[in-house]
Structure 1
Amino acid sequence: MIRLSGKPLVAWTIEQAKSSKYLDKIIVSTDDKTIAVISEEYGAAVPFVRPKELATDTAT
């Protein structure tokens, strides 16, 4: 996981989303268990980890 100023990149995105007055829940969709764990640590919901076949560049 790439870090920037001591935090994972995904953490910066989650923190900015949490600071928005227009959002009341942050949900992360990922196929990576590490990203799921980090996202939850920073306050995002990760209701499931996507299967690999739904995480390709052409998945819709």
Structure 2
Amino acid sequence: MSGPRRRPTARERTARYLLAVRLEQLREQAAARIEPTGSRLSELAARPLEGDTTGTVTA
């Protein structure tokens, strides 16, 4: 049995807002951690290998 819906209190609205802000901060932090890794891998892949290893495969 469901009664009439009550309006959220100011405390509930504030809590929801703060949660939304914090989640957005965490998303931005996660994105910032991922981006440098990708660019770093690209930099490493573009560098020539050290020494004379052309054509050498070691298993």
* TM-score category, normalised to shorter length: under 0.3
Q: Which has the higher helix share?
A: 2
**Which protein has greater RCO, CA pairs closer than 8 Å, 6+ apart?**
1
TM-score after normalising by structure 2:
0.27
Larger Rg: 2
Q: Which has the higher strand share?
A: 1
